[in-house]
Structure 1
Amino acid sequence: MTRVLTQDRVRARLRDTVDPERGRIPMFVYSDPDVYELELQTVFRDAWLFVAHVSELPEAGSFVVRDMGEESVIVARGDDETVRVFLNSCRHRGMRLACEDFGTTNRWRCPYHGFTYGSKGEFLGTLIGAPYERIAYPGGLDRDALHLIEAKVGVHQGLVFATWAKEPEDLRGYLGDLAWYLDLVVGRAELEVVGVPQKWMVPTGWKLPSENFTADAYHTATAHSFTARLGLTKGVDFGRDGYHVDPGGGHGLGIGVHDEAEGSYFPPELADEYAARLDPDQLALLKRIKNTHGNVFPNLSFLIPNFIEIDGRRVTGMMLRLWQPCGPDKVQVWSWHLVEKNAPRWWKDLGRKMYTQTFGASGMFDQDDTENWEAQTRNANAALTRSEEVYLHYEMGLDIEPLKDFPGPGAVYDGKFSEAAGRSFYRTWLDHLSGAERA
């Protein structure tokens, strides 16, 4: 009863204080433990959550271990090529079945009591045996009742998502207008993950980095001004030119563009594959892209970093970034580098180098960003003791009208300096926590 009363109190406070329409977000939402608990029960139960890229599961029996909210899950490919997601918990005593980060196996055997589950074919996720079963269970075991708990799965352009929602919206509908833009990043060619994802901890709440990739191109001129001093960009305003996109559903992105006369920065060797996979409007926009940042609500970010010239070639190091919650003020960062499978060797080699130097665990940009998020979170924690609310300012672009003739869907704004998608992020977040339908 106390827990229910606490949740009702939190929901009432959120309804009274969180006002995305006016661009007013109270600081307590970033790190309040009661808010975080409610997020785990709503956002991370009902939303579609990214768990893997299909290239990480190359054959039947291959699997990776990931998290949905704070629950460990096994993402596995069966003999039928279908990817499935199971709670990484033995049905006997709740022990983790898969303790490795990844692998290929015919079965998962619980290290506690030895209950064994199939990882391939018709037995995938099914209990197939237990030690001394005839002696310990002379009446037999109900194998159907002991099947691993399975999440619903959707795949879009190689991105594997899962949800615990009982009757979820289909993944394509969930992505909505974002899908048109997301396809420029992950659907322009067949992509593959390079190596294994890097992982590290940051003392910050998951929303701060997620909203940063959703809507914040504004910080680049200050936080990342070193790029101009090092001659990597022509000036500190490299994050301004282009478009800010609010596709709805809490998703958001910014698209940086260069002059059309410069031609495409992407490898000419891949032009035919791009043309086969994208429609003419998407292809025309891809040819102008110099950088792209965005976020799939709630916590999957994507990035095509600013192209940098090396040895006469322009190159970028594309990444996916998952902000895995580990508490109200802590995340585990998962970072994947992706590249076109059919790309020339120079593009793959230089792309990996650029990814490592810019947005890897020790990359130049991450050092700037994480220091800011840590300081914001410390302030948010300190603000929890205040009797009055501390409101933050999310009003950038509040009175600006979107473009009427942009070829892509959603609300698109001229220039990347806007917080329209950030307001959409918190509107959708509030809807989840309050139990309202997703806007």
Structure 2
Amino acid sequence: MSTVFREAWLFVAHVSELPEAGSFVVRDMGEESIIVARGDDRTVRVFLNACRHRGMRLACEDFGSTNAWRCSYHGFTYGSKGEFLGTLVGAPYERVAYPGGLDRDALHLIEAKVDIYQGLVFATWSKHPPQLVSYLGNVAWYLDLVVGRAEMEVVGVPQKWVVPTGWKLPSENFTADAYHTATAHSFLARLGLVEKVDFGRDGYHVDPGGGHGLGVGVHGDEAGSYFPAELTDEYASRLTPHQLNLLKRVKNVHGNVFPNLSFLIPSFINIDGRLVSGMMLRSWQPIGPDQTQVWSWHLVEKNAPNWWKTLGRKMYTQTFGASGMFDQDDTENWEAQTRNATASLSRADEVFLHYEMGLGMQPLQDFPGPGDVYDGKFNEAAGRTFYRTWLDYLAGREFE
């Protein structure tokens, strides 16, 4: 918690969840509860969700809109708008209880550093963090395809549930593991939703560096884009020609921004006669060494046609989320892995795991996107970088 989740940039919200001044959501950064709030100046800020008087949690609901947060313990009140955002604005019987007055500046809510990329709100407790765009590095080019290709919005509110696993297993899964799909998710082929069980193989494995990673699944050029034709102009206005050409070939994209923000454009499947995908974001929030709270958001293009929005939500619900078929497969595996990892032989370093897939392979030289990009999605290069970066944080090593 102190070396990774206090120092790294952490995803905390999407801007569409904060539609107006005074709107807020309550999230977590490591062990800390936080308030993500939008002020009158449209600026998004992040505060520790703790009253400066006795540390009571200020906002106890998951989201809302308010003019002030009032502590339910002693009534200390903090502004949620304008120049008073995060500022102590009053306390009960203040003149009697504090005849000398209160130092309102000293009692300002503790504030994290915040930056936004393509609508994704990140925050960090680091005293000297790199710029967010530097932290993202090469993965930003690929995030443009996922969350920057159009103006995006969150559908509903995020789903939450708890999985008895450590946060690194699901994060690594999205970072680098297309290999498991042929076995763990073979039901797709048996149900006729995809042609073959190797639907996760064709495409590219990308190691962008920085602990981030992703896979881009592609279909043949002759098939044309699977995305709605109604959005073509908006895509073209936001993406470079190279990005747009790659998007036209996309059939799925999975990835992870270090440490715990996963993103996914699931494989397009036929629903009611139309090819559709239900994009999502995931945050793997650690609540203990072998407990993870999953936060899952469904995102869609704001200007998309109604059929794309309706069928995408249906596809997201059926495949991912708390009731999704994919999640039933994955969480069962992560839970069993965690039970094995906490057994005595594993703790005594008697058990070694195999991470050699793709060793010796050379990156492509003519791929238009940045990072080390490999032909085919069956590779563990980004997974090795993920764990190397995690170890760098734990060891306190300096980053370039």
Structure 1 length-normalised TM:
0.90
Partner deviation per Cα, 1:44-102 (whole Å, 9 max, x = no partner): 00000000000000000000000000100000000000000000000000000000000
From the superposition, tell whether residues 308 and 69 of structure 1 become closer, same or farther in structure 2 (CA, over 3 Å).
Answer: same
Answer yes or no: is the 8 Å Cα contact 1:383–1:390 preserved in 2. Answer: no
Answer yes or no: is the 8 Å Cα contact 1:402–1:412 preserved in 2. Answer: yes
Q: Which runs of 5+ in 2 are unaligned?
A: none
From the superposition, tell whether residues 279 and 138 of structure 1 become closer, same or farther in structure 2 (CA, over 3 Å).
Answer: same
Identify the residue that residue 394 of structure 1 maps to in structure 2.
355
Corresponding position: 1:282 with 2:275: no
Corresponding position: 1:223 with 2:184: yes
Identify the residue that residue 117 of structure 2 maps to in structure 1.
156
The separation in 2 between residues aligned to 1:331 and 1:384, in whole angstroms, is: 23
TM superposition shift of 1:437: 1.8
TM superposition shift of 1:377: 0.2
Corresponding position: 1:293 with 2:254: yes
Corresponding position: 1:351 with 2:312: yes
The separation in 1 between residues aligned to 2:160 and 2:222, in whole angstroms, is: 39
The separation in 2 between residues aligned to 1:176 and 1:427, in whole angstroms, is: 17
**RMSD, matched Cα:** 0.8
Identity of aligned residues (%): 83
Letter in 1 for 2:301: E
The list of structure 1 runs, each at least 4 consecutive aligned residues, that deviate by more than 2 angstroms after superposition, is 383-389
379, 384, 397: which one aligns with 1:423:
384
Question: Within 5 Å, which residues of 2 pair with 1:18-167?
Answer: 40-167=1-128
From the superposition, tell whether residues 340 and 387 of structure 1 become closer, same or farther in structure 2 (CA, over 3 Å).
Answer: closer
TM superposition shift of 1:310: 1.9
Letter in 2 for 1:328: P
The separation in 2 between residues aligned to 1:321 and 1:438, in whole angstroms, is: 26
The separation in 2 between residues aligned to 1:425 and 1:405, in whole angstroms, is: 24
Question: Which stretch shifts more, 390-399 or 253-262?
Answer: 390-399
227, 236, 253: which one aligns with 1:266:
227
* Equivalent position SS for 1:236: coil
From the superposition, tell whether residues 386 and 151 of structure 1 become closer, same or farther in structure 2 (CA, over 3 Å).
Answer: closer
404, 411, 414: which one aligns with 2:375:
414
* Greater fraction of residues in helix: 1
Identify the residue that residue 213 of structure 1 maps to in structure 2.
174
From the superposition, tell whether residues 142 and 406 of structure 1 become closer, same or farther in structure 2 (CA, over 3 Å).
Answer: same
The separation in 1 between residues aligned to 2:176 and 2:191, in whole angstroms, is: 26
Letter in 1 for 2:20: E
The separation in 1 between residues aligned to 2:346 and 2:305, in whole angstroms, is: 56
* Equivalent position SS for 2:78: strand
Partner deviation per Cα, 1:232-266 (whole Å, 9 max, x = no partner): 11010000000000000000000000000100000
Answer yes or no: is the 8 Å Cα contact 2:277–2:312 preserved in 1. Answer: yes
Answer yes or no: is the 8 Å Cα contact 1:89–1:148 preserved in 2. Answer: yes
> Which is bigger in relative contact order (C-alpha 8 A, separation at least 6)?
1
Answer yes or no: is the 8 Å Cα contact 2:341–2:347 preserved in 1. Answer: no
Letter in 2 for 1:170: Q
TM superposition shift of 1:384: 6.2
Answer yes or no: is the 8 Å Cα contact 1:428–1:438 preserved in 2. Answer: no
